[in-house]
C-alpha cells in the first residue's frame, strides 16, 4: 500500500502524519494522533459519532480518506472550546441532562456548534435538521433540542 505524508491543522496545531491510501481520517485522529472525541460507531457515516469540523463544516470522519485532509483545518471537540458556542452548549447539555452515556455527545455538540455559528437564531426545525445525522440511543432528542434552544436564548 502506498504511503503519503499529509499535513493539516488539527485544533490549531499543524500535524504531519504518514498515512496509507485507504486510511480514513477517523482512524488517523484516534489511533495515530490520540484524539478521542470522534468515536468509532457504524463506520458508514450513519450515526454521527465520528463527527468533526473540517474547513468549517461538519463531516463524518469515517467517510473521509485521510489523504483528503491534506491542507485542511480540522476541529474536534478537544479543540472546539475556543469557539463562541461550544462551551455554552456543553454547559446547557449538562444542566438539561441531555446525554446519558455520552457516546453521541461530541458529534451532537459539534453539529450544534456549526449550526449556531451559521444561524444564531435557529428554529426548532433548523435544530432538528442540524442534528439529524447524529443518532442518540439513550436519551432521545427532546433534552438535546431543549438544551440547544436554551443556549440560543441565553438562559
pTM of model > 0.85 = yes
Q: Helix H segments across 15-95?
A: 25-27, 86-95
Contact (CB, 8 A) for 51 and 106: yes
Render pLDDT for 4-22 as a digit per residue (tens, 0 to 9).
999 999 999 999 999 999 9
**Domains of the chain, each with CATH number or no CATH:** 3-79 (3.10.20.30), 83-153 (1.10.150.120)
CA distances in angstroms from 106 to 16, 17, 48, 85, 103, listed in the order given: 24, 24, 9, 13, 7
Render pLDDT for 110-127 as a digit per residue (tens, 0 to 9).
999 999 999 999 999 999
Nearest to 76 by CA among 141, 15, 137, 138: 15
> 70 falls in which pLDDT band (50, 70, 90)?
very high
* Mean pLDDT, residues 134-151 taken together: 91
* DSSP 8-state assignment for residue 28: I
> 155 falls in which pLDDT band (50, 70, 90)?
low
Render pLDDT for 83-96 as a digit per residue (tens, 0 to 9).
889 999 999 999 98
Alpha-carbon gap, residue 44 to 18, rounded angstroms? 24
Quick check: 100 pLDDT over 90?
Answer: no
Amino acid at each position: 500500500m502506498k504511503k503519503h505524508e499529509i499535513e493539516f491543522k488539527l485544533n490549531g496545531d499543524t500535524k504531519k502524519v504518514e498515512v496509507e491510501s485507504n486510511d480514513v481520517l477517523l482512524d488517523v485522529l484516534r489511533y495515530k494522533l490520540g484524539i478521542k472525541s470522534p468515536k468509532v460507531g457504524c463506520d458508514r457515516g450513519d450515526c454521527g459519532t465520528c463527527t468533526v469540523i473540517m474547513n468549517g463544516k461538519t463531516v463524518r470522519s469515517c467517510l473521509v480518506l485521510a489523504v483528503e485532509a491534506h491542507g485542511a483545518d480540522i476541529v474536534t471537540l478537544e479543540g472546539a472550546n475556543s469557539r463562541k458556542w461550544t462551551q455554552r452548549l456543553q454547559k446547557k447539555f449538562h444542566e438539561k441532562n441531555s446525554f446519558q452515556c455520552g457516546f453521541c455527545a461530541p458529534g451532537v455538540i459539534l453539529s450544534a456548534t456549526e449550526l449556531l455559528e451559521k444561524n444564531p437564531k435557529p428554529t426548532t426545525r433548523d435544530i432538528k435538521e442540524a442534528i439529524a445525522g447524529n443518532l442518540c440511543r439513550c436519551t432521545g432528542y427532546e433534552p438535546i433540542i431543549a438544551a440547544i434552544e436554551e443556549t440560543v436564548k441565553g438562559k
